Amino acid sequence: MPSYAVTGTSRGLGLEFVKQLSQNANNTVFAIVRNPDSATNLQTLAKQRPNVHIVKADITDPQSLVSAAAEISKETNGILDVLINNAVSTNPAAGAVPPSQIPLDVAATRDFFKAAYESSLYGAIWTTNAFLPMIESGKEKKIIHISTGIADARVIKGTGVTAAVDYAVAKGAVNILVAKYAAELEPKGIKVVALSPGWVDTYAGPTPKPAEILGVEAYVLQSFQKIWPNLKGQIQPEESIKMVLNVIENLTTEQSGLMISHHGNEEWI
């Protein structure tokens, strides 16, 4: 029975990972979430599928990750096959700020990057290290960190998008971290990748979408079309995660250490 641990599972891509993985009753899925009580959709899914286990942990709190790993280890006899680190947080106030407008102030700059760095970069380190002994004992031996194509310098240059500096910079750092982990862990047969899920519509607010959200999507689409002129819009979480899981299932040693897409290559859209 393959075992999976997924972070950031209360909604969006994380919840979709749990949905699709748990469709196979032979899979054991540990859904790691910061606030289980408020993750109502995840709670409903866990009641319907006995192979889904909700585990409380905050990826910005290393000790909570250690506790979560210990809890899961008791259930699996110290084994974990695949770790999917999906959780992320950003500073909403930083979203539209270009790099030249980051304040010349130590505290303000640290605050600008704090959420993205703690969740993406530090969280990637703490999550990996907390679960690494279990991955070493697993059969699949795969560690996946969800990344983004907008951390690719060629995409930034081609689209001219200056927004989401905190998110893109943090994920760019994660991409290098993945390469370092892959180099260290290759002798143990462990594959580590950064994986971009594509441009996915994860909006979960009230419908219809607010004009502000639609405006941002239109701007991003127009920017992306500078590189991908035939792009029509976002894909849905179901399609994205189906493709991502196929990439994970067929992950090769040659791909370890790289950032790859839901297509298994560098085609980000």
- Per residue of the chain (269 residues), what is the pLDDT tens digit? 899 999 999 999 999 999 999 999 999 999 999 999 999 999 999 999 999 999 999 999 999 999 999 999 999 999 999 999 999 999 999 989 999 999 999 999 999 999 999 999 999 999 999 999 999 999 999 999 999 999 999 999 999 999 999 999 999 999 999 999 999 999 999 999 999 999 999 998 888 999 999 999 999 999 999 999 999 999 999 999 999 999 999 999 999 999 999 999 999 99
Q: Is 203 a catalytic residue?
A: no
**CB contact set of 56 (below 8 Å; sequence gap of 6+):** 32, 33, 34, 35, 36, 64, 68
Length of the chain in terms of residues written: 269
Q: Give the active site residue among 117, 171, 181, 191.
A: 171
**Using CA atoms, how far apart are residues 134 and 67, in angstroms rounded to an integer?**
13
Q: Which residues contact 218 (CB under 8 A, 6 or more apart)?
A: none
- The model's pTM is 0.96
**Known catalytic residue at 4:** no
Q: Which domains does the chain have, with CATH numbers?
A: 3-202+236-261 (3.40.50.720)
| DSSP assignments along 78-124, one per residue | S--SEEEE------GGGTT--GGGS-S-HHHHHHHHHHHIIIIIIHH
The catalytic residue among 4, 117, 167, 181 is 167
For residue 207, what pLDDT is reported?
87
